[in-house]
């Protein structure tokens, strides 16, 4: 039975010690990952004001550019982390290798292209809103000013497609949130591979 080590990535720090073992869904392989209980205090952002630099200094155009550059580096053809995620998904996902390869080589990089990210932001949130306060005249004459702020979020991602990891990346980056991602047992590496890249 093959064993895969799945490290934790916490605020840029890769943790791969004190491993505990878990059986995969079909019993064909096992996973080892660090004992999460030893890192619980490091998971949540204790003070949300630590996100302030993401709003004061980081413009949404920078986020879009970053995601575009990231997408260009995610194909398994050039990225060993994504290659490993693809290979493991071939064993665990239930999708064919051809469908998975298309997801990893085409779908995930394409969804991170600048034009796509801008479309998602404009359609669902509004690009102007993401960079500052926007003024809205209400029907009764009052004026409201709104601005979305990132939050401390828990993403429990579905395992039906590795593209879900790409979608999670887009939403979290656009909202400039602090994210905890709980990866599914049939795709424990894709979000991690994107984060490591």
pLDDT of residue 192: 96
pLDDT of residue 120: 94
pLDDT of residue 117: 96
Q: Residue 20's beta-bridge partner residues?
A: 33
pLDDT of residue 25: 73
pLDDT of residue 5: 92
Rounded Cα gap, residues 46 and 42, in angstroms: 9
Closest to 174 in 3D by CA, of 194, 156, 149, 155:
149
pLDDT tens, residue by residue, 146-156: 887 777 788 88
Sequence-distant (6+) residues with CB within 8 A of 65 are: 114
pLDDT tens, residue by residue, 155-184: 888 888 999 999 999 999 998 888 899 998
Domains, in order of start, for the chain: 1-37 (no CATH), 59-196 (3.40.605.10)
pLDDT of residue 148: 77
Q: Per-residue confidence of the chain (197 residues) as pLDDT tens digits?
A: 788 999 999 988 999 999 999 887 777 788 999 999 999 988 888 887 777 777 777 889 999 999 999 999 999 999 999 999 999 999 888 899 999 999 999 999 999 999 999 999 999 888 888 888 889 899 999 999 988 777 778 888 888 899 999 999 999 999 888 889 999 888 999 999 999 99
Dihedral of the alpha carbons of 92, 38, 153, 172, in degrees to the nearest 10: -60
pLDDT of residue 101: 95
Rounded Cα gap, residues 24 and 183, in angstroms: 13
């Amino acid at each position: 039975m093959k064993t895969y080590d799945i490290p934790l990535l916490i605020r840029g720090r890769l943790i791969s010690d004190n491993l505990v073992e878990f059986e995969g869904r079909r019993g064909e392989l096992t996973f080892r990952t660090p004992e999460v209980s030893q890192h619980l205090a490091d998971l949540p952002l204790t003070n949300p004001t630590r996100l302030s630099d993401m709003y004061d200094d980081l413009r949404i155009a920078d986020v879009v550019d970053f995601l575009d550059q990231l997408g260009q580096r995610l194909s398994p053809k050039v990225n060993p982390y994504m290659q490993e995620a693809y290979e493991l998904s071939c064993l665990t996902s239930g999708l064919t290798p051809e469908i998975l390869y298309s997801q990893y080589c085409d779908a995930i990089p394409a969804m991170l292209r600048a034009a796509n990210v801008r479309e998602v932001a404009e359609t669902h949130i509004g690009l102007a809103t993401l960079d500052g306060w926007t003024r809205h005249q209400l029907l009764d004459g009052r004026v409201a000013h709104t601005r979305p702020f990132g939050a401390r979020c828990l993403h429990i991602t579905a395992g039906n497609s590795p593209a879900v990891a790409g979608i999670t990346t887009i939403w979290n980056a656009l909202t400039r949130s602090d994210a905890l991602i709980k990866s599914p047992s049939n795709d424990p590496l894709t979000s991690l591979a994107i984060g490591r890249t």
